[in-house]
């Protein structure tokens, strides 16, 4: 299985806690040289001096460099301007077994061990927040590093995050049904954590009697359209993630299925542009339309990047996908909040 595609899905799920700085972690043993050498935020030269050159150099299906590191099934790294901006760690598997994020395996890590392994790739001057509880199969942890703040250019943070927080980073643990960890992601990107109590968006049947909601007919119709469309896009994002975790790039049925999902994001954007929202929803609709615009642009980036093995375009698409999905959920929430206010 090509784990670089799974790394894209990991980027979608990364959403950390507000940073609460504590003392440096004792397991992050200092090493000679920079605290960033061969770690998140360090240079490519230092990383490859320790772990060697990528094992997938010249591979026709792997735009992210993959390294052979003892104790891991795969180590994938994303660079920007020769700085490490993201590291994905996958648990090991016997040679004859494909890696899967869905099926627990005896070689997966315990949660405590996964925290330890994540810190081996964090800056040695790390200052940690408490880890979050498990939220939909993910444990989040935020951190800071003075070396990141001092040595990593602001431009690098701006490349990976629309709201850059120099010196900050986060890691996430992907927890299986067996409560072990199959993969770990570290990133310079820092965002708000999802609400643990947030429910998955579903399409609901809207009442046909305007008096039941306090809406006008136009407002009721508009909200129903937004809820249905955003629900469809959310379901498409899930299906796209499933395609990325089981890639068959050389097979037409997989490629066509992916094209269909990406095309649906672009169709949703075109439909949103044609909507005329009621005055009360004009401001929230701008945010909603902008979110779909990011997903539409991400679809273009993904298709170009995959077809042309262009790592930068795939990276751009992943960044837009994260922002678009987050903004879509926020815009939909605002629409529903306004619906509740006006329906009281």
**In CATH, what number is assigned to the domain containing residue 325?**
1.20.120
Does position 44 have pLDDT exceeding 90, yes or no?
yes
Phi and psi at 55, nearest 5°, equal: -85, -10
Q: Is residue 202 part of a domain?
A: no
Q: Are residues 12 and 153 in the same domain?
A: yes
Question: Shortest CA distance to 322 belongs to which of 96, 105, 170?
Answer: 170
Q: Are residues 83 and 155 in the same domain?
A: yes
Query: What pLDDT, on a 0 to 100 scale, did the predictor assign at position 114?
Result: 95
Query: What pLDDT, on a 0 to 100 scale, did the predictor assign at position 299?
Result: 86
155-166 per-position pLDDT tens digit: 999 888 778 889
Q: Are residues 81 and 130 in the same domain?
A: yes
Report residue 7's pLDDT band, with 50, 70 and 90 as the boundaries: low
What is the average per-residue pLDDT within 76-80?
A: 86
Q: Are residues 31 and 150 in the same domain?
A: yes
The number of C-alpha atoms within 13 Å of 223 and in the hemisphere containing its C-beta is 26
Mark which of 153, 187, 221 sits at the end of a domain: 187
Q: Residue 45 belongs to what H/E stretch?
A: helix 44-51
Mark which of 124, 153, 187 sits at the end of a domain: 187
Q: Are residues 36 and 120 in the same domain?
A: yes
What is the average per-residue pLDDT within 221-245?
A: 80
Query: What pLDDT, on a 0 to 100 scale, did the predictor assign at position 267?
Result: 83
Q: Are residues 76 and 138 in the same domain?
A: yes
Q: Are residues 13 and 156 in the same domain?
A: yes
Q: Are residues 94 and 235 in the same domain?
A: no
Phi and psi at 175, nearest 5°, equal: -100, 130
Domain with 302 in it:
210-343
Q: Are residues 105 and 253 in the same domain?
A: no
Task: Give the CA distances from residue 24 to residues 37, 39, 165, 182, in Å, rounded to whole numbers and listed in that order.
Answer: 17, 16, 19, 26
Q: Is residue 56 part of a domain?
A: yes
Q: Are residues 164 and 218 in the same domain?
A: no
Q: Are residues 88 and 153 in the same domain?
A: yes
Q: Is residue 272 part of a domain?
A: yes
Q: Is residue 315 part of a domain?
A: yes
Does position 2 have pLDDT exceeding 50, yes or no?
no
Q: Are residues 32 and 117 in the same domain?
A: yes
Overall number of domains in the chain: 2
């Amino acid at each position: 299985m090509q784990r670089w595609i799974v790394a894209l899905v990991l980027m979608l799920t990364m959403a950390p806690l507000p940073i609460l700085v504590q003392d440096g972690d004792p397991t992050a043993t200092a090493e000679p040289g920079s605290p960033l050498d061969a770690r998140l935020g360090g240079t490519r030269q230092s990383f490859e001096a320790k772990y060697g050159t990528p094992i997938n150099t010249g591979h026709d299906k792997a735009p992210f460099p993959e390294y052979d590191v003892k104790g891991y099934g795969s180590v994938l790294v994303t660079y920007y301007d020769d700085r490490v901006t993201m590291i994905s760690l996958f648990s090991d598997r016997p040679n004859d077994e494909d890696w899967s994020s869905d099926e627990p395996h005896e070689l997966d890590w315990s949660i405590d061990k996964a925290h330890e392994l994540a810190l081996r790739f964090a800056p040695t001057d790390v200052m940690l927040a408490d880890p979050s509880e498990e939220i939909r199969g993910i444990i989040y942890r935020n951190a800071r590093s003075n070396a990141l703040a001092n040595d990593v250019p602001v431009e690098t943070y701006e490349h990976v995050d629309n709201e850059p927080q120099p010196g900050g980073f986060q890691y996430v643990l992907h927890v299986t049904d067996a409560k072990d960890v199959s993969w770990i992601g570290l990133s310079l990107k820092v965002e708000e954590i999802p609400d643990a109590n947030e429910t998955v968006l579903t399409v609901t049947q809207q009442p046909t009697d305007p008096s039941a909601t306090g809406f006008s007919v136009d407002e009721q119709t508009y909200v129903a359209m937004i809820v249905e469309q955003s629900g469809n896009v959310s379901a498409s994002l899930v299906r796209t993630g499933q395609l990325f975790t089981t890639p068959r790039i050389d097979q037409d049925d997989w490629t066509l299925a992916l094209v269909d999902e990406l095309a649906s994001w672009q169709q949703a954007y075109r439909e949103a542009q044609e909507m005329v929202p009621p005055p009360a929803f004009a401001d929230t609709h701008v945010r909603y339309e902008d979110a779909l615009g990011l997903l539409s642009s991400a679809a273009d980036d993904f298709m170009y990047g995959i077809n042309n093995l262009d790592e930068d375009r795939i990276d751009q698409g992943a960044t837009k996908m994260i922002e678009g999905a987050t903004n879509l959920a926020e815009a939909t929430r605002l629409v529903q909040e306004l619906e509740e206010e006006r329906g009281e």
